[in-house]
Structure 1
Amino acid sequence: MSYAHPAGLPTVDAMTPAVLVLAGPVTRDEVTGLCDDVRALLEAGGAGTVVCDVGGLGPPGLAAVDLLARLQLAARRAGGRIRLRDPDPGLHALLDLVGLRFETEGQPEQREPPLGVEEAVEPGDPAV
């Protein structure tokens, strides 16, 4: 008996999130289909995260905020979450303004300080 190895690296494939590329201004009619796409990607993959590439989404506006909020809600209902790739600084600022927090690729997690940053100690501070 011989055993053929499956294609790819299963441990890596299960850890690699699916990517959904959002290009151009998205119309209201397309939002439902994109939410369905997020749910399908979460059900098909094992990582529990869908990366939304928003670099080509267009100028930041409330339509983009609404789209991302709906995608995040669809992902949460499916037991996952979305992570943003390449967001425009204006979109990032607009999301902060309306109180929506998204994980962004390439940024350190909130509980971890960025690499190379050291805390300063002022003279006279009590030792902890």
Structure 2
Amino acid sequence: MTAPRRPPPDPQPALLVLTGPIARAEVPALCESLEALLRRSGAHRVVCDVGGLGTPDAVTLDALARLRLTAGRCGRELVLYRAGGALRTLLSLTGLSEVLPLCPESPLDPLQTVRQTEEREEHLGVEK
């Protein structure tokens, strides 16, 4: 009887840094850049740093939604990192918070893989 093989570990998540404001004409190029990044990296997850976007507007939301669709078409996950209060509010009001998850704000490396806790595995950072 042979032992079951473990799947190879996921590659390190890719990092996409957005600065703003974003012009509507830039959105298709951003999506193309994301596709190229995913092809190069082979990452299954993209951490999108939105901390430098400034004041979010409708174009910001459109760009983020299209980036999410682009990642999804490639079979990848996109999470937002360093989303400010105004962006969080807009995501919630528009319902986009359901499809654009936020990466937990943490002093730890934003590219570390966020793991689900398994049975018998302790929750990290939680005291009993």
TM-score by length of 2: 0.70
1:20 equivalent among 16, 22, 36: 16
Shift of 1:47: 2.5
Residue 72 in structure 1 maps to residue 68 in structure 2: yes
Q: Which residue of 1 aligns with 2:55?
A: 59
Structure 1 residues 114 and 61: CA distance shift in structure 2, 3 A: farther
Equivalent position of 1:105 in the other structure: 103
Which structure would you say has the larger RCO, counting Cα contacts within 8 Å and 6 or more residues apart? 2
Q: Can you give the 5+ residue segments of structure 2 that lack an aligned partner in the other structure?
A: 1-7, 106-113, 118-122
Show the counterpart of 2:41. Answer: 45
Shift of the alpha carbon at 1:30?
A: 0.8
* Residue in structure 2 matched with residue 3 of structure 1 by the alignment: none
Question: How far off is 1:15 after superposition?
Answer: 2.4
Q: Which amino acid aligns with 1:41?
A: L
Distance in 2, matches of 1:83 and 1:46, equals 16
Q: Which amino acid aligns with 1:87?
A: A
Question: How many aligned positions are there?
Answer: 106
Between the aligned residues of both structures, percent identity stands at 41
Query: Alpha-carbon deviations, 1:48-95, whole Å to 9, x = none?
Result: 111111001110222111110010011111111211110011101110
Q: Which runs of 5+ in 1 are unaligned?
A: 1-10, 119-128
Root-mean-square deviation (Å): 2.7
The one-letter amino acid of 1:27's match is A
Q: Is the 8 A contact 1:51 1:82 kept in 2?
A: yes
In the superposition, the TM-score normalised over structure 1's length comes to 0.70
- Mark the structure with the bigger radius of gyration: 1
Distance between the aligned counterparts of 1:26 and 1:47, measured in 2?
25
Greater than 6 Å deviation, 4+ residue runs: 111-114
